[in-house]
Structure 1
Amino acid sequence: MDEKERLSDALITQKYITGGYNLAIMESADNRLRENFMGILKDEHQIHFEIFNEMKNRGWYQPAQAGINQVSQHMNSWNQELRKIQRTGAKPAGIQQHTQSNIPLYTYQTGLGLPQTAGTSQQQVFYRPPQGPLT
């Protein structure tokens, strides 16, 4: 595996990692855990940016720049969808309603990894699994 392949693999891995932390942040019910994930996510984005810049500087990764017309078209499309949702309460295209039952709540024991605060129960919910796929 040459250097270009290693950097490409690292860039793809960073994209995957940041996606995982984004999901963890969105699904965290505990503020301290969420803040910790956000700090880690910031670090992971910085690593991604450094790998991206290195590949770009070497000419190995050249993303196409969107023209102002493309940006305007996408913005108009999203604004139309937003107005539709606000007007009708409809779901965005591609998102299906899912109902979930019997989904376990993941918990942690206070004092194991996170400092225990006065007045908290011995077991607290800190992560809620996703309610269903979006596509």
Structure 2
Amino acid sequence: MNQQSQKIQNPETSVPKTPQMNERDFVNDQLTTEKYMTDAYNIAMNEASNQNLYNDLAAIFKETQDCQRDMFNLMFKKGWYTMEQADQQKLQQSYQQFSGYKNQLPYQ
């Protein structure tokens, strides 16, 4: 069965098409930066041997993750981020596949 995917998107806010960075470029750059920062904080938390340091990193990670989510929400609101509606059949197939993996784990 070949179903056409449905896009989920808000109306796109137009931005100037010039060589200079526009609002969308700046927000996208910030979103990318926040994603890299959360990855780095996650690694730092895994490596922190001091509990106080870990707690500080966890607080900063949460703030950074929240900022990343805000950037995503802004881009979606402005129509600069598009998602596709999930195909129920594909979801069911993935669920069954990973349920099978779960049954192979030694601790159940």
Query: One fold, TM greater than 0.5?
Result: yes
Structure 1 unpaired stretches of 5+: 88-135
Q: Does residue 31 of structure 2 align to residue 11 of structure 1?
A: yes
**Structure 1 residue 47: Cα displacement:** 0.6
**Structure 1 residue 30: Cα displacement:** 2.3
What's 2:42 paired with? Answer: 22
Q: Deviations over 1:43-86 (max 9, x none)?
A: 01111111111111110012223244333333332232232232
What's 1:83 paired with? Answer: 103
Give me the whole-angstrom Cα distance separating, in 2, the residues matched to 1:27 and 1:15. Answer: 19
Between the aligned residues of both structures, percent identity stands at 28
Indicate which of 37, 47, 70 corresponds to 2:57.
Answer: 37
Q: Does residue 88 of structure 2 align to residue 60 of structure 1?
A: no
Give me the whole-angstrom Cα distance separating, in 2, the residues matched to 1:30 and 1:69. Answer: 47
Cα 1:20–1:75 change in 2 (3 A) is farther
Give me the whole-angstrom Cα distance separating, in 1, the residues matched to 2:45 and 2:78. Answer: 33
Secondary structure (helix, strand or coil) at the match of 2:49 reads coil
Letter in 2 for 1:54: L
Give me the whole-angstrom Cα distance separating, in 2, the residues matched to 1:9 and 1:22. Answer: 20
Aligned length: 87
Cα 1:72–1:8 change in 2 (3 A) is same
TM-score (norm 1): 0.55
Secondary structure (helix, strand or coil) at the match of 1:86 reads coil
TM-score (norm 2): 0.67
Give me the whole-angstrom Cα distance separating, in 1, the residues matched to 2:99 and 2:48. Answer: 29
Give me the whole-angstrom Cα distance separating, in 1, the residues matched to 2:44 and 2:98. Answer: 25
Structure 2 unpaired stretches of 5+: 1-20
Cα 1:57–1:15 change in 2 (3 A) is same
Secondary structure (helix, strand or coil) at the match of 2:33 reads helix
